Amino acid sequence: MDTKALLKKVRKIEIKTRRLSDHVFGGEYHSTFKGRGMTFSEVRQYQFGDDVRAIDWNVTARYNEPFVKVFEEERELTLMLVVDVSGSEAFGTRLQFKREILTEIAATLAFSALQNNDKVGLVLFSDQIELFIPPKKGRSHILRIIRELLEFKPLSKKTDISSALEFLSSVLKKKAIVFLLSDFMNDGYQKTLRIAAKKHDLTGIRVFDPMEETLPNLGMVPMVDAETGSMKWINTFSKQIRNKYASKYREHVDNFEALFKKNGAGNLSCSVEESYVKKLLGYFKARG
C-alpha cells in the first residue's frame, strides 16, 4: 500500500471510529473503566453536611477552624490493545476480513481512551511478538497505532496467545485495561491468562466468520491452512468429517468463553457480519 493510499485509509478509519467513540462509547467507556482509586486533591473549610471522617485535624488545629480533605478519582488509565495478526485473521468470505474488523474495534477503543485522556499501547502478535508500541497519549500516537494495524506485515502466520500474554505481564508493571483481540483458534494459554487476568482488567474479543463454523458439503475440495500454508484434500461429502470439524471448532469457542469467565475476565464474540458497535455497547452497559 503506497503512502497516499495508506493515509487515506487511516483517515477513513479515524472518521468512522472517532465518531463512534465520541458519540457512542465515550461515556460508556468512562463509566465502565474506573480509575485506580481516590487521590488527595486539596483541603477546604468544613461545610454543613460534610463527612466528619474527612476532617484534616492537622490543618484544623493550625487554623482553629475545621477543614476537610477533598479527594477525586485518579482517572488516568492505560489501555493496551493486544491484537492477533496471524494468518487466520486474513480470512473473510462475505463482507470483511477478520483483520479489518479487529482494526476498527481497536481504533474505536483507542479513540475512546483518547477522549478520556488515557494512555494507549499496542502489541501485535502471531506465535511471536511482532510489534510493541509502549503506552502513550495523543491523537498522533493513535493514528500511528491505526497505521500499524492497517499495514503491518507479520513475520509469522502462526498463533501463540500464551506468549502474547506472557510478554504483556513482563512489560506492564501497573494494572491496565487490556483488550485481547483474536479468533482464539489456539490452545495452551490457560496459565498465562490466569496470571494476566489477576493483574489487569482483561477482556477477550473473539472475531469470527460464520463460514468457519461448519464445513459445507462440496465434495473433495483442497483446503489451505492459513497459518502453516499446508494444503490437504478434504472429503466434505463425509458427514463424519463435517461433524468432527464442527465439534473441534465449537470446542475452541467453548474453551475461550469458559477460560475467560473462570478467571473473572470479560469476553464477547462478534461475527464479521454483525455490528461490533452493538456488541461493544452492550458489553460496556452490562459492566457499567
Q: Which domains does the chain have, with CATH numbers?
A: 3-32+75-287 (3.40.50.410), 38-73 (no CATH)
Q: For position 38, what pLDDT does the model report?
A: 57
Q: For position 34, what pLDDT does the model report?
A: 61
pLDDT band at 17 (very low <50, low <70, confident <90, very high): confident
* Location of C-alpha cell 468544613: 46
Q: For position 39, what pLDDT does the model report?
A: 57
Report the alpha-carbon distance of residue 108 to residue 13 in Å, rounded. Answer: 9
Lowest-confidence range among 82-86, 141-145, 170-174, 216-220?
216-220
Residue 130: exposed, middle, or buried by beta-carbon count in 10 A (0-12, 13-18, 19+)?
Answer: buried
Q: For position 24, what pLDDT does the model report?
A: 58
Q: For position 191, what pLDDT does the model report?
A: 95
In single-letter form, the type of residue at position 97 comes to: F
Predicted confidence (pLDDT) at residue 256 exceeds the cutoff of 90: yes
pLDDT band at 2 (very low <50, low <70, confident <90, very high): low
Q: For position 22, what pLDDT does the model report?
A: 66
Instruction: Provide mean pLDDT across the span 228-254.
Output: 84
Buried/exposed code over 250-265 (b: 16+ C-beta within 10 A; e: otherwise): eebbeebbebbeeeeb
Considering only residues 224 and 55, tell me which one the structure prediction assigns the higher pLDDT.
55
Residue 168, Cβ neighbours under 10 Å: how many?
Answer: 25
Lowest-confidence range among 2-11, 77-86, 120-129, 239-248?
2-11
Lowest-confidence range among 27-41, 123-137, 214-228, 256-270?
27-41
Lowest-confidence range among 139-143, 206-210, 241-245?
241-245
Percentage of the residues of the chain whose pLDDT score is greater than 70: 85
